[in-house]
Structures are given as structure tokens and as C-alpha cells.
Amino acid sequence: MRQGKDTGKMTPAEIRRAAYGAIARELGPSGLFRFIQDFSLGHGDYTMDRHAFLPKGDVEEIVGRIQTWRGVGSRGKRKRDQLMG
């Protein structure tokens, strides 16, 4: 096994750059691109943003909506937008 670089004094950006270089050498440019797509750091604050897209209500209310949605779906048109309000 190859001896790696001494990362003790490297900044996070330097470590990322070295890692991307190693991945590109091993997997090629398309492999590096796919890796970055899957493992990007992201942005924003999930704990704040999740309230915009998660259903409102407690667990019992959400379970009730799911059960209602399933019942409506088996008989006809699903009204998901109304149920997930």
C-alpha cells in the first residue's frame, strides 16, 4: 500500500483538492463528476428548510392522511394536494 500525504497541516480545501485528484486518477473525469454529484456538501439549513416541504401535523395526523389517501386512491381520483395540505 502506498504511503499517503501528511494531512496534519493541510486545510480542508487542500484535502478535498487532493481527494478529487486521486478520484480523477482512479475513475477518470466522468467518475469524478459522478462522485461529486453524489457526495457534494450541499447548502442551506435542512432543519429550517424542511418545514417548507414536509407535511404539517403530528404523526397520527400524517398516518390518517396516508390512510385516507390510500382509500381515495383505490376508488378513484387521488387528491394528494388537499390531503397533504
Boundaries of every domain in the chain: 9-43, 44-85
Write down the pLDDT at residue 81.
53
Write down the pLDDT at residue 11.
94
Sites in the chain below the pLDDT cut of 70: 1-3, 72-85
CA distance 10 to 12: 7
- Contact predicate 35/27, CB 8 Å: yes
CA distances from 12 to 8, 23, 48, 81 (A): 10, 16, 26, 43
Write down the pLDDT at residue 80.
55
Write down the pLDDT at residue 63.
85
Spatial CA neighbour of 18 closest among 9, 35, 5 = 5
- Contact predicate 78/72, CB 8 Å: yes
- pTM of this prediction? 0.43
